[in-house]
Amino acid sequence: MLVVGELINGMYKAVGKAIEEKDKGVIQKLAKDQRAAGASMLDVNTGPYTKNPKDAMKWLVETIQESCDAPLCLDSTKADVIEEGLKLAKNKAMINSTSSDDEKLEVLVPLALKYNASLIGLAMGKSGIPRDKNERMEHAVKIVTKCQEAGVPMSDLYLDPIVMPVNVAQAQGPEIMESIKEFALLCDPAPKTIVGLSNASQSTKERPLINRIYLVMAIANGLTAAICDPLDKLLMDAAITAELILNKNIYCDSFLEAYRTK
Ligand code: THG
């Protein structure tokens, strides 16, 4: 599974403060620690309160790339903020994200092609958060079709069912699991799938437990990538073990170590 480290996000108080004060040390430590813990990519999100998100994105990308060579997942609701990151990214980047909204697709699909970036497609449109699996499928079909027409390979498309907190949207759990399974059936070769895992446990008392079980269940339904906290070692161990049981990786007694060495 592709692990995208979630910790460089202005939503976290310490990160928001580091962005404001241009404190490189905080960001570079988060980048290195997440890499060392097994993140293949790093999510980069300036957070909701940044006054100048374009400058913040530029500073974050430069700061991260001074300290490590991780590919970046550029996370913003604004296309111009994402492009600021794309211009600077040294490795193949990921665009986080488009929705099925035409205005979004018309800007972000060409951007993915221009920079040879992969693209996250949120299964939602203008009308907001999807209510069930059928709505998610409708949005996903629209995104897949648009990408196929434009020539974005399905191996570069990550469909996101939009994970909702289990405490306020408990009924969405099964809808989301089913969506992950059915996204992969939309075409052949199949698009990939991704979730923002920590959404699931927001404002709950058992965050690590919910995240770990949620991730294992999503993997069992075919999930191929997750934006999550790689510093939660038990979460990472759970993901590696789930993939062992699904025969996605080599069999041996020291499979955790073997996976990490690889
Ligand atoms: N899909 C996609 N991208 C995403 C999301 C998604 N990017 C953002 C988010 N969702 C995934 N990343 C996070 C990062 C942090 C948290 C949740 C999801 C989180 N933060 C603490 C909180 O809100 O309780 C912050 C607490 C603090 O201040 O320390 O939970 O779904 N494509």
**Per-residue confidence in pLDDT tens, the chain, 262 aa:** 999 999 999 999 999 999 999 999 999 999 999 999 999 999 999 998 888 999 999 999 999 999 999 999 999 999 999 999 999 999 999 999 999 999 999 999 999 999 999 999 999 999 999 999 999 999 999 999 999 999 999 999 999 999 999 999 999 999 999 999 999 999 999 999 999 999 999 999 999 999 999 999 999 999 999 999 999 999 999 999 999 999 987 667 778 887 888 7
- pLDDT computed for residue 250 by the predictor: 67
**CB distance 117 to 104 below 8 Å:** no
Closest to 75 (Cα-Cα) out of 42, 106, 107: 42
- pLDDT computed for residue 251 by the predictor: 65
Q: Indicate the fold that domain 2-261 takes in CATH.
A: TIM Barrel (3.20.20)
* Largest CA-CA distance found in the chain, in angstroms, rounded: 51
**CB distance 8 to 46 below 8 Å:** no
- Which residue ranges have their beta carbon within 6 Å of ligand 1? 6, 9, 11-13, 45, 75, 96-97, 120, 160, 162-163, 196, 198-199, 202, 227
- pLDDT computed for residue 244 by the predictor: 92
Centre of ligand 1 to C-alpha 144, Å, is 25
Report which ligand 1 atom has the smallest distance to the Cα of 13. Answer: 28
Centre of ligand 1 to C-alpha 149, Å, is 32
Tokens of 105: 């697709």
User: Can you point out the beta strands (E) in 33-110?
Assistant: 41-44, 72-75, 94-98
- pLDDT computed for residue 20 by the predictor: 95
Closest to 246 (Cα-Cα) out of 215, 211, 219, 214: 219
- pLDDT computed for residue 257 by the predictor: 84
Preceding amide of 189 cis, omega within 30: yes
Which residue type occupies 230? P
- pLDDT computed for residue 195 by the predictor: 98
Centre of ligand 1 to C-alpha 112, Å, is 23
Distance CA 107, CA 132 (A): 27
Preceding amide of 100 cis, omega within 30: no
Closest to 5 (Cα-Cα) out of 144, 172, 182, 198: 198
- pLDDT computed for residue 216 by the predictor: 98
- pLDDT computed for residue 84 by the predictor: 98
- pLDDT computed for residue 262 by the predictor: 76
